[in-house]
Amino acid sequence: MENEKSNDVLHIVMFPFFAFGHISPFVQLANKLSSHGVKVSFFTASGNASRVKSMLNSAPTTHIVPLTLPQVEGLPPGAESTAELTPLTAELLKVALDQMQPQIKSLLSHFKPHFVLFDFAQEWLPKMAEELGIKTVFYSVFVALSTAFLTCPARVPQPKNYPTLEDMKKPPPGFPQTFVTSVKTFEARDFLYIFKSFHGGPTVYDRVLSGLEGCSAILAKTCSQMEGPYIEYVKSQFNKPVFLAGPVVPNPPSGKLEERWATWLNKFEDGTVIYCSFGSETFLNDNQIKELALGLEQTGLPFFLVLNFPANVDVPAELKRALPEGFLERVKDKGIIHSGWVQQQHILAHSSVGCYVCHSGFSSVIEALVNDCQVVMLPQKGDQFLNAKLVSRDMKAGVEVNRRDEDGYFVKEDIKEAVEMVMVEVDKQPGKLIRENQKKWKEFLLNKDIQCKFIEDLVNEMTAMAKVSSN
């Protein structure tokens, strides 16, 4: 591969962590950048390459660089993304990544890109790239609120003196005055994960902080319209350039919705169906499934419920055990329960779908907002809790399901109440305001000029930085 630094083509290496929740935002950004003439080399484990290829635009300036994962004790051979692993064994992917440094150094020496866009787990990359004369950009696939609340220096003022559960309920010192003033006990307990060490490696917090402090610039998948105060706080905490990619709105899906789903959805009036899904790597327990199913049933509205389970389980047996007795028979005319992959973007775009109950992964929220879908959020882990607060409290464009403080427990009435707020009580507050704001954000996200300018500005800023470093 020729050294692209000799000409004006901006060459970027994209290097996400081996989880599709991270790979997908990197792919979406790669597609936007390549359409603006940027050359992209996409690093991923060879086992993920075919799926990444199906997601990437086939531009002549974009190519995939397959990486070889080293053998790590306890990591099953051929398992190269978190989708194939339990949360505990997935931690071994970070061990594998750490052992890949010589391989990455050799590839970067060969490609000599202007920039490497890297993820939270590769905190060793800035130093390595600097030795090779390559700039690094920490690309945070999380909202700026997540960085501001969880992984800024103010969160741990003394090295290794990690916060307590009570500390994590409150924002760090200097946090901006916004609607996000506290979190619940069960959410704070989940956040403590970032301060745990696995297999003797650095904690997530230490990895993230090293990456953010060591990189040439920070890139956030957000915009000031959505997160102005949090972006400014991140800038003040790190004192370095913070580039904004904008929300990186996905392109409309190609192809048609599968016939069986289109036929079923076509039976219902516009905007009446609830679509409910928690992604491919979030699994509800039996009690959550029961209360969710009963809550959807009690709305009286038609619904399409996607329930996924860990690999290698007997799905029909799981569904039989988890769903309430007699449920499938009662809802057979107006409810679908499905396990496995579905064309989510196509479903959300269908005219009969009017509500999306989800785990509030931010890409999923954006997919809902660009359609005529009201967002009902039931976050399950990590940054999802903060996404839900951003959307419900700051943007006022969705509703979060009410839950018990201590353990996050919810009942069917909580689901029914949240859905009805935006689907039934449309002339009452706060449902009326939420629906109005959903419409405003939809217009903003679908404004091609605005969204295109985010990417143009990013390319210009990176080009300017690359030129400064080459002079």
Write the pLDDT tens digit of every residue in 308-321: 988 778 888 888 88
Residue 265, pLDDT above cutoff 80? yes
* Residue in 22, 114, 346, 359 annotated catalytic: 22
Residue 142, pLDDT above cutoff 50? yes
The DSSP string of 23-92 is HHHHHHHHHHHHTTT-EEEEEEEGGGHHHHHHHS---TTEEEEEEPPPP-TTS-TT--SGGGS-HHHHTH
The pTM score is 0.93
CA–CA distance, 169 with 252 (Å, rounded to integer): 38
pLDDT bin (cut points 50, 70, 90) of residue 58 is confident
Residue 205, pLDDT above cutoff 60? yes
Pairing of strands 242-244, 273-277: unpaired
CA–CA distance, 12 with 111 (Å, rounded to integer): 10
pLDDT at 1: 39
Tokens of 367: 């997919």
In this predicted model, which residue has the larger pLDDT, 281 or 16?
A: 16
* Residue in 119, 190, 206, 372 annotated catalytic: 119
Residue 3, pLDDT above cutoff 50? no
Residue 128, pLDDT above cutoff 50? yes
pLDDT at 125: 97
CA–CA distance, 459 with 114 (Å, rounded to integer): 12
Q: Are 26 and 14 in contact (CB under 8 A)?
A: yes
Q: Are 202 and 210 in contact (CB under 8 A)?
A: yes
pLDDT at 293: 97
* 106, amino acid identity: S
In this predicted model, which residue has the larger pLDDT, 398 or 8?
A: 398
pLDDT at 312: 78
CA–CA distance, 192 with 211 (Å, rounded to integer): 19
Pairing of strands 217-220, 135-140: parallel
Helices 20-34 & 448-470, crossing angle to 10 degrees? 90
Question: Quick one: DSSP state of residue 157?
Answer: S
CA–CA distance, 393 with 229 (Å, rounded to integer): 14
Q: pLDDT tens across 172-198, in order? A: 999 999 999 999 999 999 999 999 999
Q: Is 119 a catalytic residue?
A: yes
Q: Which of 121, 125, 181, 189 is nearest to 148 (CA)?
A: 181
pLDDT bin (cut points 50, 70, 90) of residue 4 is very low
Q: pLDDT tens across 347-385, in order? A: 999 999 999 999 999 999 999 999 989 999 999 999 999
Q: pLDDT tens across 145-163, in order? A: 999 999 999 999 988 899 9
CA–CA distance, 406 with 413 (Å, rounded to integer): 18
Strand residues in 91-158 grouped as ranges (E): 115-118, 135-140
% of the chain with per-residue pLDDT over 90: 85
HEC string of 208-222 equals: HHHHHHHCCEEEECC
Tokens of 91: 């931690």
Task: Kindly give the residue spans of alpha helices, DSSP state H, lying in 305-405.
Answer: 315-322, 327-330, 344-349, 362-369, 383-389
In angstroms, what CA-CA distances link 94 with 23, 45, 207, 432?
15, 13, 10, 45
Q: Is 359 a catalytic residue?
A: no
Q: pLDDT tens across 440-456, in order? A: 999 999 999 999 999 99
End-to-end CA distance of the chain: 23
